[in-house]
Structure 1
Amino acid sequence: MKDFRELVVWQKAINLFEAVVKDTEMFPNTESARIIQNQVIRSISSISANIAEGFGRRRGKEYEHYLYISRGSANESIDWYEKLKRLNYVSADTFIERETICEEIRAMLTGMINKLESKN
């Protein structure tokens, strides 16, 4: 594999990013909504960004480190979507869709991490 964009996990993460940007465009025009919008976009964008950065380094422990960060960002994103659901900024269906994708990404990252750990 020559490019991080070939990774299915990165593809899922970047598609999630696009969906989240669209979700946030529907938020109310308030200061708190802008702060939350910034935070959720940052956590979601961090998933694909850390996959890409780690792939570029391509060294066992260093790559593994970035995958751990990416997995943490997936968890953080689920937390933000839980808050969005509770504030009624997103529907329960949207929450379930985003949570499911984050969980799939998290599972894929765990598999990648485990594979790297077994090589070390």
Structure 2
Amino acid sequence: MVDYKNYKVWQKSHKLVIAIYHITNTFPKSEQFNLVSQINRVCLSIPTNIVEGCGRETQKELARFLYISSGSAHELEYLILVSTELNFISKKESEKLLKEIDVIKKMLFALIRTIKKTL
């Protein structure tokens, strides 16, 4: 069992959740149960799966949950793109979020690669 709070990728993804929740709070109310719900759920999935993986007994299980986090990061990337095209997120905010998501994806990939070397 590993303390998830020690992982920089968890710290970054946690901060991303907070930022995303603030941004989706400004979306039209008509999107509350559609795009907002999907964005919030998938964004929250990134750090949540890191936490769940850290609570597992083996490194192999941790890697599996990190792959799920990575998939969620890719999904979030698309949802930010579509939200920008619908003018729910400004171009400037979108660019900042997409850069953060890209960093998180790279960190997850590096951590998975490191863990897989130990298996």
TM bin, normalised by shorter chain, reads: over 0.9
CA–CA separation in structure 1 for the residues paired with 2:57 and 2:35: 33
CA–CA separation in structure 2 for the residues paired with 1:2 and 1:110: 18
CA–CA separation in structure 2 for the residues paired with 1:19 and 1:104: 15
TM-score w.r.t. length of structure 2: 0.95
> Where does 1:1-120 land on structure 2 (aligned, <5 Å)?
3-30=3-30, 33-34=31-32, 35-120=34-119
Cα deviation 1:14-50 (Å, max 9, x = unaligned) = 10000000001111121xx111000000010000000
Q: How far 1:81 moved relative to its partner?
A: 0.1
Q: Which runs of 4+ in 1 moved over 3 A?
A: none
Amino acid at match of 1:26: T
Unaligned runs of 5+ in 2: none
Q: How far 1:2 moved relative to its partner?
A: 5.2
SS in 2 for 1:57: coil
SS in 2 for 1:84: helix
Amino acid at match of 2:39: V
Check conservation: 2:2, 2:55, Cα contact below 8 A: no
Percent sequence identity is 32
Unaligned runs of 5+ in 1: none
> How many corresponding residue pairs?
118
CA–CA separation in structure 1 for the residues paired with 2:7 and 2:116: 19
